[in-house]
Structure 1
Amino acid sequence: MTTPPTVQAGPPAAPARRRLLHPDPVVRRLSWMVLVNTIGSGLFMTVSTLYFTRIVGLSVGRVGVGLTAAGLCGVAASIPAGRAADRWGSRRALVVLNVVEAAGMASYVLVHSFAVFMVVVCAETAVDRGAAAVRNALYADALPKETRVRGRAYLRAVTNVGIGAGAALAAVALQADSRGAYVTVILANAVSFLAVAAILPGIPLAAGRRGERPAPEAVTEEVSGGGTADECVGTDGSGRSAEAARRSALRDVPYLAVTLLNALLTLQFAVLNVGIPLWVVRETDAPRAVVAATLLLNTVLVVAFQVRATRATRDLRSAARACRAAGLMLAGSCLVIALTHGLPGAAAAAVLLAAVALETVGEVFSQAGGWLLSYDLADRGATGAYQGVFNAGASAGMMAGPAVVTATAIGHGPLGWAVPAALFALSGAAMVPAVRWAERRR
């Protein structure tokens, strides 16, 4: 009699699952949240431009104007969202924002004019960027300091997997190319936000974290039972009130300097998503399919190496050095891209892939360093407010990135790549003294 397959298949499968799943149960729960969220994002990102142009009937120029305005709204929303996380708790604030974002996403199916598009896209992007800031604060509330950066790295790998899976599923809608198919994708993304809101209450918070601010009567009972002086006066541990700590995020000049330098490093995403595709089409003989290959290579390398990159970021100074190394690698990738001008098609494609590999190494180091700096330089009584500021800076960098890259590298040929290369190298190098300054002021 043949042995039932379940008898032999069971034992080998368990170690395989353990290798894929994170050993920390909190990170695993956060991973499910991130995976659901990013599959929905991958779905929408893949079809959104075609939906607005082919189905709604907006011109490409108007879609661009709307997305730029929405980006400004997103930058502005990050700071108040972070403060809301400090005041009402990151988990509770994120539940509310996901429910609102689900409603905003569903509203896209009602868009029929440019005016309605502007209202919906600005509101939806503001909520989305605010949710990103609160999500970063939730990571600080849920993950202990010693494992936080490695946890973030694992979640970023999950993010890439989720977006890739969502993009692959969206291919079905692209093939159908009908209003019904695009609306189905949009509503599926809306449902993903509701699913995230349902997952959030089950995510435990690290001991002592303020993911849910206690009710006033609970604080009174704690004080009467022998709470510490900090608990009695409601301070952040440094003798200042929590409200003063929240206000300090916009007055912390060294932290703002680190935020600005990190924002300059985020221009790297425009190089990958805007600069290389335009460069391939306009300035090289490489086959256009190499654009997809560069994105795939970047995704695979991030999934494979983002967690490993956190080994170089043990403390503030090593994180600053990681950002400095990242700046040099990003600068080098820009110069390698410039070398593809005039090369034969196959050679240009090979050099471009090498440039993307170098860019991705810089990317994983800059992300790992930026995460640690954003948390460890923040006032511990105002994690949400500081994450709001840091997220606003990153959002501003990503919003300005396409304009910077097209005005320099794409607008001026091979020599134009020297500008983003210089920005990366200088901002990475400046991170080391900026972090020392911020460390002295802590």
Structure 2
Amino acid sequence: MLPGPGAPRLLTASWLIKTVGSGLYLPTSVLFFTRVAGLSTGRVAFGLSLAGLISLAGAVPLGGLADRYGPRRTYAVLLTVQFVTMTALALVHAYPLFLGLITVFTLAEQGSSAARGALIAAVGEGAERVRLRAYLRVVTNVGVAIGAGLAAIAIDVGTTTAYTALLLGTALTFPAAAVPLYRLATDSVMTGGKTPAQTSRWQVFRDVRYVWVTVICGVLSLQAQVLSFAVPLWVVDHTSAPKLTVSAIVVINAGLVILLQMRASRGAEDDARAARLCRRAGLALLAACAVVVFTSSTPPWLAVLLLIAFAALLTAGELWTSAGSFGLSFSLAPDGAHGQYQGFFSLGRGLATAVAPWLLSALCLSDDGGRGWLALGALFAVVGLLMPTAVRRSPERVAA
């Protein structure tokens, strides 16, 4: 079901276009930089990691721009920056230029995420915000799937022209995504017509409750890296299941998110319920980690069944993590500072993404009899159980 007409539907159209671009870019970017631009895999990996770390430092300041100049204008400008840098990346062959451009591109991506969050907060209130954010997450899965399907054609062709056309096509999705934004009514990019609160540019760092919620949601977001990083290596190297099982797990995950994310997010605008959803997510992720331990010493048919159960539990944890995060990231942020707060909230997931390869390699991909998986599951459960306590911190105590 489409969101209501007006601003929510326009924002959805913009996001669908942008996520199609993500689907085009993600499977092919490294292939382009190594096969067409002629850069080594190690140098590309270093550049992407460095750009990712630098972009984290820009999350809060760029989010603050959305509070100062309006989220619509800021988002549109950052999309333009991404268009320019992506177009230049399609033509670059020198490593210093690659480093500079990919850093600017990643900074703009980090900032656009914060501005988009502020824009969602501006076009709705309470349950409306959470519902729109959940709907956009469904749209993300659809858009990325479309883009990845189109990218598969270029990968199959495998020529320089095909890869270059794909990157230039990705670049064009950024101005295309900006077009629906210009149809938003002027008041839809303000804070519900209210005067924004006078806030410090660094206020979020003094908001102890929001800091704790960001840390907990960041740890829970490691489940996304479990799916993309740990699962393929675990299935291939540590189980007797067919390699095709990896694709089956990804399909199950995407299908369940598309079907159930809206339902899982109902009521998440209430702080107490959102906190309980995060607690439930931690327990579901613990169960998933416990199940996967048994897949290393079973016959193929049983390993497949257990991995399907693991996929269902992991996705349940993902759905509840997302729902709780949607609600808390909006409801605990003051009006007039959603850009700054959304930028800070993105740091949790960003740091989790940065440490995930090292952490998951050490815990999940070693031959320790599954103890690493159980340790990871215990971490998920503990932080999930802490969420209701973190949310119950009174505003007076936070201020103190």
The TM-score normalised by the length of structure 1 is: 0.86
1:316 to 2:271 alignment: yes
Q: Matched residue pairs, number?
A: 397
- Secondary structure of 1:340's aligned partner: helix
Cα separation, 2, equivalents of 1:203 and 1:334: 44
Partner of 1:423: 379
Q: Which amino acid aligns with 1:44?
A: Y
Q: Is the 8 A contact 2:63 2:342 kept in 1?
A: yes
What is the distance in 1 between the residues matched to 2:60 and 2:364? 32
1:177 aligned onto 2:158: yes
Structure index of larger Rg: 1
Q: Distance in 1 between matches of 2:332 and 2:20?
A: 32
How far, CA to CA, are the matches of 2:342 and 2:97 in structure 1?
Answer: 31
| Structure 1 residue ranges, 4+ long, deviating more than 4 angstroms after superposition | 205-208
Q: Structure 1: how far apart are the matches of 2:240 and 2:130?
A: 41
CA deviation profile, 1:398-420 (whole Å, cap 9, x unmatched)? 22222211121113442211222
Q: CA deviation at 1:188?
A: 0.8
- 1:381 CA displacement: 2.5
Mark the runs of 5 or more structure 1 residues left unpaired by the alignment. 1-19, 213-229, 237-241
8 Å CA contact 2:82–2:174 kept in 1: the answer is: yes
The change in CA–CA distance for 1:411 and 1:68 in structure 2 (over 3 A counts) is farther
Match of 1:379 among 328, 334, 354: 334
One-letter amino acid matched to 2:171: A
Distance 2:302 2:148 in 1: 29
CA RMSD of aligned residues (A): 1.9
In the alignment, the residues of structure 1 paired with residue 184 and residue 319 of structure 2 have an alpha-carbon distance, to the nearest angstrom, of 26
Distance in 1 (alpha carbons) for counterparts of 2:248 and 2:162 = 26
Aligned residue type for 1:60? T
Letter in 2 for 1:38: T
Structure 2 match to 1:98: 79
User: Residues 58 and 107 of structure 2 are in contact (CA less than 8 Å); yes or no, is this contact kept in structure 1?
Assistant: yes
**CA deviation vs aligned residue, 1:385-433 (integer Å, no higher than 9, x gap):** 1111101222111222222111211134422112221221111111110
Q: Summarize the alignment of residues 179-218 of structure 1 with structure 2, pairs less than 5 Å apart.
A: 179-204=160-185, 209-210=190-191
Give the partner amino acid of 2:291: V
Shift in alpha-carbon separation, 1:252–1:424, aligned structure 2, 3 A: same
Deviations along 1:119-150, whole A, 9 cap, x unmatched?
22222111111111111111001122231101
Cα pair 1:143 1:205 within 8 Å, conserved:
no
Any conservation in 2 of the 1:43–1:170 contact (CA below 8 Å)?
yes
After TM superposition, the structure 1 stretch with the greater mean CA deviation from structure 2, 421-430 or 63-72, is 63-72
Gaps of 5+ in 2: none
Asked if 1:113 is matched to 2:69, the reply is no
SS at match of 2:277: helix
Residue in structure 1 matching 2:43, options 62, 83, 86: 62
- Greater shift in the superposed pair: 413-422 or 78-87: 413-422
**Residue identity (%):** 39
Please state if 1:155 is matched with 2:155: no
Match of 1:432 in 2: 388
d(CA) in 2 for partners of 1:205 and 1:424?
A: 42
Could you report, residue by residue, the CA deviation over 1:336-393 in whole angstroms, capped at 9, with x for unpaired residues?
1121012222321221121111111111111111111111111223111111110122
Q: CA 1:375–1:343 in 2, change beyond 3 Å: closer, same or farther?
A: same
Alignment of structure 1 residues 23-42 onto 2, 5 Å: 23-42=4-23
Aligned-residue offset at 1:63? 2.3
**Corresponding position of 2:29:** 48
TM-score, normalising length: structure 2: 0.94
Choose from 408, 415, 418 the match for 2:363.
408
Contact 2:14/2:179 (CA < 8 Å) preserved in 1?
A: no
Which of 265, 281, 284 is equivalent to 2:220? Answer: 265
- Taking a change above 3 Å as real, the CA distance of residues 430 and 161 of structure 1, as seen in their structure-2 partners, is same
